Each structure stands twice: as structure tokens, then as C-alpha cells.
A and B are shown apart, each in its own frame.
Chain A
Amino acid sequence: MAEPQGIYILAEINDTGSPSSLTLELLGLGKKLASDMGSRLSAILLGSDIPVAVQELARHGADEVLFLDDPGLARYNPEIHSEVMAGFLQTRPPLALLAGHTSMGQDLLPRLAFSLGYGLVTDCVSLKVEGGGVLFTRPIYGGNAMATQKANTATVMATVRARVGEAPQPSEAAGAVSALAVEMPAQSRLELKGREVLTARECPLEEAPVVVSGGRGMGGGEGFEQLRGLAGLLGGAVGASRPPVDSGWAPTTCQVGITGKVVAPDIYIAVAISGSTQHLSGMGEAGKIVAINKDPEAFIFKVSDYGVVGDWKQVLPAFTAALKELVQD
């Protein structure tokens, strides 16, 4: 068996053919790991006909980009991707492989963990090198405790949340790019059919620098129009706690919380949200939290940096209008 060496990050590309912002953040984290462990950073990319992404990865800190190029890898197929990745990792095992905690990362890495026997830590919010190994910190019990974990296997893997790492500055000196021949599996038992897009992808919730969310107190779907206005003003995205989603006021893809999406924007604005444990688990890591709620006892104020006690119907329009003036100045 080959000796594990190097740090790998698994790249993902967005709809425009560029690396996702989480991928660039992984490059930042991977670069630090590689330097702390005296190792090299490689970006692994599976796909087909994505020259821009390959070059971008090479310019953002990867010493080397390993491109597994095949038309059959253009769309994520769990069985095909995991077989191709497993074959690749067996020939060139790394010390550590980082992937995003995305719908692909959450699906692919556990498959690899069980087929290759690698230790895997999912949903990491911080990582550091200590005693020659990597320590990963992740929330457990829905964020009511933080566990620091390490893997006792020669190769370790982790999925990392969005906005944990920082994208490296692009440099002119680009890393080497190698396109690797891929031996495609004969077939997958999984058959991919159609794909439905429910929300626009201009500003994915997990990557948004600002998230404006509404809760049960919004009272209906109309109020979310106002939240969209505020989010648009700040270049952010609209989220929701669980009740508005259950009531059909906001799409499922908007739900922030342990049963929805976990976000960590620079600014989180919670409108008419009381602050249940399950919601806090989805946004507690935000940079600054701003709450508007008419109940002064609402738990959300305990975990917020700024707050107004008042009815959002009166507070929010004035807040948005004032902010609009300030931002334009």
C-alpha cells in the first residue's frame, strides 16, 4: 500500500464553472494544514470541460491540481464518484482529505470512509494541527456541545462547513495542473433523473455574507417580500425558521436550523424569530446577530448582539429605509 502523503481538498464547482466559495475556503484551510505538517496541497477535481475551475484552483494556493476528467463525472453520481475517488485514493492516499459539508461532501465522504476504512469527522467548524495530527472541532447535540475529535487512521477525512476557512488571495504563480486518466466504473445502481431548481442560486444561503430570516411572527408569506428587500439591499439571502416553512410562507430551501441549513454569515438578522434551540443551532456561529421581536423575553435576545423590542411591521420598514440611505451615502 502506498504511503499517505500530502493534503487534499476536494473541489466543487458552481453553475458558472468556477470553484465554489467553500472550495476556495478549503484551499485556505488546506494550505495552512500543509504548511503546519510540512506537506503539499493538492486540489482534486472531478468533472469534465471546466478549464476555468482548474486554473482558478491552481491560482488559489494549490501546489497541484489533480483533474479527474471524464464526461461521466459532470454530474455527481454517488456510486460513480465514490468508486473513482476510492480508486484514486488507494493509489495516492493523502494524510488528510478535506471536503465541503455540502450535499456532495455529506454523501461522498461517508461512502469512502466505509469502503477504505478511513476515519471521517463531519461538519467541522475548526481544525488545527497538534502533535503531528489534525484535531477537528464539530458541534454535537445540535450545537449544545463542541467536540474536538481526531482520527486514528493513517489517512483522515473531514467535511467542513461553509465560512470556516478564508479563501487565499489569488496569485500569478499558479500550481501545476495534471489531468489524470480515469477508469470509469461500468455502471451505477443509482439512476439520476430530473433536477428541479426551486430557488435562484445567485446567492446561496450558506455562502451569503448577510442572512435576513423571518419566523413564526411574520404571520404570512407577504412579510417575506420585505425581508427580500432588506436582503437585496445588503447583498444577502433570505432565510426562515421552521414554522414559516411548515406553513408554506417560505420554501424548504430557505430553512435555517438543525433540520435545515446551517449558516454562519457576517450578519444574521432575525425578524420575528423567538430563538428555539433548533434554530440557534443553524445560525449561532454568525458574526453579528441582530434581532427584532415584539416579545422582550424572547430567547433570541440572549444570543444577539443588537436588538429592538417591537413589532416588525413597524420596526422593519423604518430600519430598511434608514439603512438604505446610509448604505447609499
Chain B
Amino acid sequence: MTAQMIVNGLISAALIAPPAVAFSMLFGILRFPNFAIGGYITVGVFAAYAINVQFGLPLWLASLGAMLAGSVVVWASDQIIFRPMRASAPVTLLVVSIALTFVLEHSVRLIFGADVKGFDLPLERPLVFGGVHVTRPQLYLIGAAVLVVIITHLLLTRTRLGKAMRAMADNPQLAEVRGIRSVLVRIAVTLYCGALLGISGVSAGLDLVIEPLLGWGLTIPIIAAAILGGIGSVYGAMLGAVLVGLAEEFTTLVLPSSYKIGVGFVMITILLLLRPHGLLGQPEIKK
């Protein structure tokens, strides 16, 4: 029973970790909490649906399509809305991002309708290892999430672009002075995070259900995981996702499951009181 709960928690974590990484990067580098991640995920999953079901192409191709759609939408929304407003207060940007998520969700609904949908992939029965059941797609999901985290970490630590991103996150003015082209870095960040959010949509569509409210339901756990782990830390986002995933599984032992949604919040509150910068976050030096 416990082993199964751990596996379930890891599957949830695998769903939440890549978008939490994206949220964390966007927050760290663009400097505001972008609530439109729900809308971006929804766009991603429906793009994949259109390619896979309406055009009849295989799921791996649809996933690439989802990543492309995600990149385009995140980049475009940044170009048109967020970047011109970058001098505004974070809370203003937060409110704008919420308006954006509604626009995205309802645009998707306008085009595709509100009925539930699924990918053109049969549901599978599970593999069983010593009393624990897990399906093959779920194993892929976990593998993909780990891959995303590792690739992102390598991007941020081993590439010039990644180092530029980190410099911008730490201290944007200093980064400018040292010749880092913030405009290009910003574009790169939005494209990369958009791809992550697009592929997260495919995972969510596989594990849950394809419908316009999909992204909204995931938004809170994603943000919880990112904040728990510490904004700006990729491994922190992953750790946060694992904690949130496991906590939601294990809480049902003590609380009725109808309070499950509240668990993530309570965890964040407790953690932030003890460690205000999250588990692996860096304390900021305020100006």
C-alpha cells in the first residue's frame, strides 16, 4: 500500500515537475509569477490533440507540435504583453497573466468545444512489480520528467546561454553591464519554457483528461512545487514536485480526500515560515 502511494506520488510529481521548472525559470528570469501557465498547458495539449486525433498523426509528432505551440504562445505573449510591461509591479503582471490564462482557455474552448477528449492511444493495463502497479506510459512520463530536469540543469550550468540566464536571474543590471543581451536571453527563456509547458500538456492529457479546464486545475500544485523548491532552482522545482505529489497521496491517510487541494498550500505556508526562500532557493540580495 505504501509502496503504491509512493509510486503514485512520483507519477504526480512527474506531471508537475516540468511545468514547475518552467514556472520557476519564468519567475526567476522575468521576475513575476506567471499564472498563465495553466493556459499555456491547455494550448499545448489541444495542439497535440489536433495533430494526433484530427490529423491522425502519431503521438510523438503531436508532442513536438505541442512543444512548438507552447513556445510560440509563451514567446508571443511575452513580446506583446509582458515585456512591454516589464517595469510594472509584479502584482500587476500577475493579474494580467490571470486575464491571459482565461483568454487562452476560452479560445481553446471556442475552437474545440467543452467535451472531454482523449488521444488516439488505447488505455493500458498495468505492469505489476511486487504488488505495485504502474503502466508503461506512466513510466515514460517519469522518465521524461527526469530527462527534462537533467537537460534543463545542463542548459543552465554548461551552456553560455544558460549562464546568461542565471546571470539575468541573479542581477539583471549587472548582467546588462557585462554585455549579456537581455533581449535575446529573454526570447530564449520564453521559447524554452514554452516548449516545456507544451510537453507538460501532453503528459497531463495522457494521465488526466483533455478538456479546457485542465491547465487551471494544475496551476496551484505547479506553483506550490516551484515555490516550495525555491524559485530559480531547477532541482528545487523537482524536489518540490515530489514533495507535493507525495504529500497529496499520504494526506488521505489522515484527512478526508475532499481536503486534498488544501494540502499543497498548507505545506508551502509551513515551509516558507521556516525557510522563506524555499528548500533550495537562494536568498536574494535586495537592492
A and B assemble together: no
- A residues engaging B (CB < 8 A)? none
